[in-house]
Chain A
């Protein structure tokens, strides 16, 4: 059974600081997703990482994937209040994608204080 673990589960940080969220998964996969969820809202796709060593950046967020270590990171640079949200990583285990669905971590609840 695929397990996806995120840490930390809760993070409070100040604006302007840097921090990293970690996502470990238990079974070989080369497809990893990061989503953002605001309270009461749906999931917004942030990054899709499809190969070992993949690195993607959007604004103050950067995600990377190490399939050998079964680890993905989401790095926040110079945090701003608008980044406050819950961040989920999800792994797609099915060969060729999709049929077994995505397995999500429990999420990292991020609060960025002025």
Chain B
């Protein structure tokens, strides 16, 4: 079985640009969450989506947005990139919002220059 897949694996962007990160959950999982992990820190919760609806949002500015598609895959969009957005972005999938198991993808390493 394929695990959680994220693309791209690495990305370099310039300040002010826009970026889209993609995530495909484990087959059968309907919930996707996004986390930002800055070097040397623990991951921070950005969004959770379930059945194409936003179910939770962390303390991130409106430059961050996401959506979930009918096939349960998800995109994370970040506008007007700042140097501080450089981080590892992790996607986690779970069966539902009430499920207690989260499987993380390998992440997308975003560098903003």
Contact = CB atoms under 8 A, between A and B. Distances in A.
A80 to B, nearest CB: 24
Nearest to A6: B42
Interface in A81-106: 88, 90, 92, 94, 96-106
A104 B44 contact: yes
Contacts of B90: 42-43
Contact of B42 (A48, A98, A105): A105
A48 B97 contact: no
A96 B48 CA distance: 14
A104 B50 CA distance: 21
Contacts of A68: none
Contact of A45 (B33, B42, B56, B101): B101
Interface in B35-78: 35, 41-46, 48, 50, 55-56, 58
B33 to A, nearest CB: 6
Interface residues of B, number: 28
Contact of A106 (B41, B99, B107): B41
Interface string A12-35: 000000000000000000010101
Considering residues A31, A45, A97, which has the most beta carbons from chain B within 10 angstroms of its beta carbon?
Answer: A97
Contact of A50 (B45, B50, B100): B100
Interface residues of A, number: 27
A97 B41 CA distance: 23
Interface of B: 31, 33, 35, 41-46, 48, 50, 55-56, 58, 90, 94, 96-107
Nearest 8 Cβ contacts at the A-B interface: A101-B45, A104-B42, A98-B97, A99-B56, A43-B104, A99-B55, A42-B106, A97-B98
15 contacts: A4-B42, A42-B104, A43-B43, A43-B104, A96-B98, A98-B31, A98-B33, A98-B99, A99-B55, A99-B56, A101-B56, A102-B45, A104-B43, A104-B44, A107-B41
